[in-house]
Amino acid sequence: MLTREIIQRVREIQVRTGRQVADVLAGEYVSVFKGHGVEFDEVRPYVPGDDVRGIDWNVTARMGEPYVKRYVEERQLTLMLMADVSASQDFGSGGRSKREAAAEFCALLAFSAIRNDDKVGLTLFHSDIEQYIPPRKGQKHALRVVREVLGHGLVAAPGEADPERSLGPGLRRWTAGAASLQWLPRLLRRPGARLRRAREGTDISHALEFLMSVRSRKSVCFVVSDFLDEGYEKALVAANRKHDVVAVLISDPRELAMPGIGLVELRDAESGRIRVVDTASSAFRRDFARLADERVTGLERRFRGAGIDFIHIDASGSVVDPLVRFFRMRERRMRR
């Protein structure tokens, strides 16, 4: 995807999600994440979307218009977006890839946060940490978050490889210039050395450990991934003890059901393994769908059993509807 196309896509997402935030998500976000703070700060006039449970009835009666209580914690909410940018996220069988669906989901949350004067941070990860953007406020910052999710790992034009992106995990994330790569030739000369392509794998545990190291204060953290990884549950539970972690699964319809189109060569985008399957076989399609369904339900069961909320996003469908359902579920739970 060209840089110009990325900019155009970001603008499209900004326009669409901006309307959705204003029309659908404004009150939902406030009611779920703007709960009761730990320290009273002031009262302010009520605005649409405020939680009615926060109305100060004494001040309202005295002033003749509704006022709500404001807490210090409400002004300090930090939203952390942990976006998987490994190679498997580029897959898309319909109008958009899993990466584009993830970018739109992140945009909805980012614009909801800045509308409520909250901070938004971003971590892009694969087998290592690709990029970390510290939490900040403002629309310009939110647009950068969306642009980075969309643009990472994509070359400038067909046939023009980006050498900086192909260096491997960890080489690019902290580089400020050519001087910081001066040790690279020594690594290349080592007998048998192989530079692993940066987006070859997914390491969710490492991403969560990184989050714990850079965020000392509690944050609301959305881990947006296809979760094609193993052994990360312990790190997810540990992160959830300190932060409010939400697991967001992004999947494509072709990962859940295979059409009957005969012999198909399947290639794993991260490992490079190739397998030829006969999709004309009804038994194969049935087993494929069953295993895919078991994977999704198994993820949800394990996450919820660990006290971690779960959202499933279909890359070919609406991103707003699952997020609204999540907000309303959280609100019902808060009222119990």
Last residue of a domain, one of 58, 76, 94: 76
Decide if 180 is inside a domain: no
Q: What is the pLDDT of residues 126-139, one digit of tens each?
A: 999 999 999 999 88
Do both 116 and 16 map to the same domain?
yes
The CA distance from 236 to 155, in Å, is 32
Decide if 301 is inside a domain: yes
Domain that holds residue 61: 35-76
Please say if the pLDDT value at position 331 is more than 70. yes
Do both 12 and 149 map to the same domain?
yes
The CA distance from 328 to 97, in Å, is 27
Q: What is the pLDDT of residues 164-221, one digit of tens each?
A: 333 333 323 322 222 322 323 322 333 333 333 556 789 999 999 999 999 988 899 9
Stronger pLDDT, 289 or 217, i.e. the higher one: 289
Please say if the pLDDT value at position 115 is more than 60. yes
CATH number at 131 reads 3.40.50.410
> What are the DSSP calls for 116-158, one per residue?
TT-EEEEEEESSSEEEEEEEE-SHHHHHHHHHHHHHTT--SBT
Q: And the tokens for 17?
A: 């999600």
Last residue of a domain, one of 76, 103, 129: 76
Residue 157's pLDDT band (cuts 50, 70, 90): very low
The mean pLDDT of the chain is 79
Torsion of CA 268, 269, 270, 275, to 10 degrees: 20
Do both 135 and 42 map to the same domain?
no
Residue 248's pLDDT band (cuts 50, 70, 90): very high
pTM of the model: 0.74
Do both 57 and 93 map to the same domain?
no
Do both 255 and 299 map to the same domain?
yes
pLDDT at residue 334, rounded to an integer: 73
Do both 202 and 65 map to the same domain?
no
Which residues have C-beta within 8 Å of that of residue 317, sequence separation ≥ 6?
Answer: none
Do both 47 and 19 map to the same domain?
no
Decide if 164 is inside a domain: no
**CA 202-151-226 angle, 5° bins:** 30
Q: Which of 23-32, 83-92, 100-109 has the lowest mean pLDDT?
A: 23-32
Domain count, the chain: 2
Do both 253 and 315 map to the same domain?
yes
pLDDT at residue 169, rounded to an integer: 35
Decide if 181 is inside a domain: no
Decide if 166 is inside a domain: no
Decide if 121 is inside a domain: yes
Do both 64 and 130 map to the same domain?
no
